[in-house]
Amino acid sequence: MERTPTRARWAALAAAVAALAVAGCSAGPSGASGSAEVNRLQVMAPADPGGGWDQTARALASAAEDADLVRSVQVSNVGGAGGTVGLAQLATERSEDYLMVMGLVMVGAVETNRSQATLADTTPIARLTAEDEIVVVPAGSPYRTIGDLVADMAARGQAVSIAGGSAGGTDHILAGLVAQAGGVPIRNVNYIAFSGGGESLAALLGGQVSAGISGVGEYAEQVQAGRLRALAVSGAERVDGIDAPTLAEAGIDVELTNWRGVVAPPNLSAEARTRLTGLVDRLHASGAWQEQLQRNGWTDTYLSGAGFDAFLAEERTRVRGVLTDLGLVS
């Protein structure tokens, strides 16, 4: 009479043990596969605290912990030379659970700083976000469209000045691409570099420059207040709250965004690269990361694996070409 209840108890016990094993494999940082995953992740922001790379690194760390993808994340800052000081440090890093935030600015900085360490000395993992650039003029400017600005650049050359961030950075690259697309000799671009958006904004509002280029966030408030006029945005689609066409819509065949992504140290094992890419894939899919995107106003441009490898190679070629034409690299 006891045989059937005994078998039932053993079956129930076995089922409970199996359920616990499945739960243990699928919960928390160990991951759904049950294989060894990232427990302690290190993330470098190759810039001083407070900028876009630092914000991205800390948002990534916060979301990864909130989503229970890792047990802990340590963020460090290594500033200098457009990120190339951090890049040189990454090239000698031996940890396989290590990511560095980077982006378009670093692609240009490698060239303009003649950095010995290059992005070829990294393992690409994923592109994360992007921010559109915006071309603006003072509200009283005679330029009503981006076509007006480009036509005057062609007619008057260096008499037309464009304010932006550091030489060789995203703003400068966009100025060069717009000139090329508009048939303006690129060496005629009178680009005036400022150390920050506040300085370039003051130059614009003071009538010291003809136009300005920066990330949308830098100028959006002044555009909405009517102090600046937006001529165009640089991405594939219009930006909510900004009454301006894309460059492509305005007849300028250029698309450029200030994108940011993550890379890992060179010479990763195939297993480590798969592990890190899988981690960032799961981060992107998490609600915690989607909240970070919304909170920071970032555009989701996620791309990992072979697609990011190819994108990065294309960007390196495109940026070097523009900087060469601008006379910043040889």
Q: pLDDT digit string (tens) for 229-266?
A: 999 999 999 999 999 999 999 999 999 999 999 999 99
Q: Evaluate if residue 300 carries a pLDDT over 80.
A: yes
Quick one: 143 and 121 in the same domain? no
What is the tens place of the pLDDT at every residue in 124-133?
999 999 999 9
Residue 9 confidence (pLDDT): 43
Confidence of residue 302 (pLDDT cuts 50, 70, 90): very high
Quick one: 103 and 154 in the same domain? no
If you average pLDDT over residues 77-94, what whole number do you get?
95
If you average pLDDT over residues 52-67, what whole number do you get?
96
Quick one: 206 and 170 in the same domain? yes
Q: Evaluate if residue 330 carries a pLDDT over 90.
A: no
* 297 located within any domain: yes
Quick one: 169 and 84 in the same domain? no
Beta bridge partners of 132: 257
Question: Of the segments 7-11, 40-44, 197-201, which one has the largest average pLDDT value?
Answer: 40-44
Residue 13 confidence (pLDDT): 42
Residue in this structure with the two tokens 């959006």, named with its chain if needed: 220
Percent of the chain with pLDDT over 70: 89
Quick one: 114 and 262 in the same domain? yes
- Beta 40-45 vs 98-103: how paired, if at all? parallel
Q: Evaluate if residue 4 carries a pLDDT over 70.
A: no
Q: Evaluate if residue 31 carries a pLDDT over 90.
A: no
Residues in the chain: 330
CATH number, position 186: 3.40.190.10
CATH number, position 72: 3.40.190.150
Give the number of domains in the chain. 3
Is the whole-model pTM more than 0.85?
no
Quick one: 10 and 51 in the same domain? no
What the block records as the tokens of 92 is 């000698």
Q: Evaluate if residue 21 carries a pLDDT over 50.
A: no
Q: Which of 175, 200, 233 is the last residue of a domain?
A: 233
> φ and ψ at 178, to 5 degrees?
-65, -45
What is the tens place of the pLDDT at every residue in 162-199?
999 888 999 999 999 999 999 999 989 999 998 767 88
Q: Evaluate if residue 101 carries a pLDDT over 50.
A: yes
Query: What's the mean per-residue pLDDT of the chain?
Result: 89
Quick one: 97 and 141 in the same domain? no
Confidence of residue 17 (pLDDT cuts 50, 70, 90): very low
Quick one: 2 and 18 in the same domain? yes
If you average pLDDT over residues 10-32, what whole number do you get?
40
Q: Evaluate if residue 325 carries a pLDDT over 50.
A: yes
CB distance 199 to 113 below 8 Å: no
Question: Of the segments 9-13, 24-28, 72-76, which one has the largest average pLDDT value?
Answer: 72-76
* 250 located within any domain: no
Residue 51 confidence (pLDDT): 85
Q: Evaluate if residue 25 carries a pLDDT over 70.
A: no
* 228 located within any domain: yes
Q: Which of 36-50, 61-75, 95-109, 220-234 has the lowest mean pLDDT?
A: 36-50
If you average pLDDT over residues 282-296, what whole number do you get?
96
Domain that holds residue 219: 131-233
If you average pLDDT over residues 135-162, what whole number do you get?
97
Q: What is the 3-state secondary structure (H, E, C) of the chain?
A: CCHHHHHHHHHHHHHHHHHHHHHHHHCHHHCCCCCCCCCEEEEEECCCCCCHHHHHHHHHHHHHHHCCCCCEEEEEECCCHHHHHHHHHHCCCCCCCEEEEEEHHHHHHHHHCCCCCCHHHCEEEEEEEEEEEEEEEECCCCCCCHHHHHHHHHHHHHHCEEEECCCCCHHHHHHHHHHHHCCCCHHHCEEEECCCHHHHHHHHHCCCCCEEEEEHHHHHHHHHCCCEEEEEECCCCCCCCCCCCECCCCCCCCCCEEEEEEEECCCCCHHHHHHHHHHHHHHHHCHHHHHHHHHHCCEEEEEECHHHHHHHHHHHHHHHHHHHHCCCCC
Beta bridge partners of 304: 126
